[in-house]
Amino acid sequence: EVQLVESGGGLVQPGGSLRLSCAASGFTLSSYDMHWVRQDTVKSLEWVSGIDTTGDTYYADSVKGRFTISREKAKNSLYLQMNSLRGEDTAVYFCVRGRNLNDCWGQGTLVTVSS
């Protein structure tokens, strides 16, 4: 079964750091473009970052310079290192598979940035 499972969310103070993980099963993660998408309680879905099969990375302007996406083939996992966190980064973060066809989403992990 194709599945994505996120972990690593939690409560962090403004200015702090957090690392999200996404474990893939049922497919080889590095053979697909992969993304992080977030959703807060008020706004719509927001694409955050992506990594393609060649390893090129992409970021939303709102997180550029603060977040880093990466993957580890041996663990079939995707990561999002989040630094200098702000209140507006509070959201549920989803790990998503695909380029033109985002057919598999994780269940999401909640990140809360608050003092």
Residues interacting with other proteins, by CB under 8 A?
A: 35, 43-47, 50, 58-61, 94, 99-103, 105-108
Residue with tokens 């083939």: 73
The number of residues making up the chain comes to 115
Closest listed residue to residue 115, CA positions, set 15, 19, 43: 15
Cβ at position 108, least distance to other proteins in Å: 6
Nearer to other proteins, 75 or 99 (CB): 99
Nearer to other proteins, 13 or 62 (CB): 62
Nearer to other proteins, 72 or 103 (CB): 103
Cβ at position 50, least distance to other proteins in Å: 7
Cβ at position 58, least distance to other proteins in Å: 4
Which residues fall within 8 angstroms of residue 84, CB to CB, at 6 or more apart? Answer: 15, 17, 66
Backbone φ and ψ of 106, nearest 5°: -75, 180
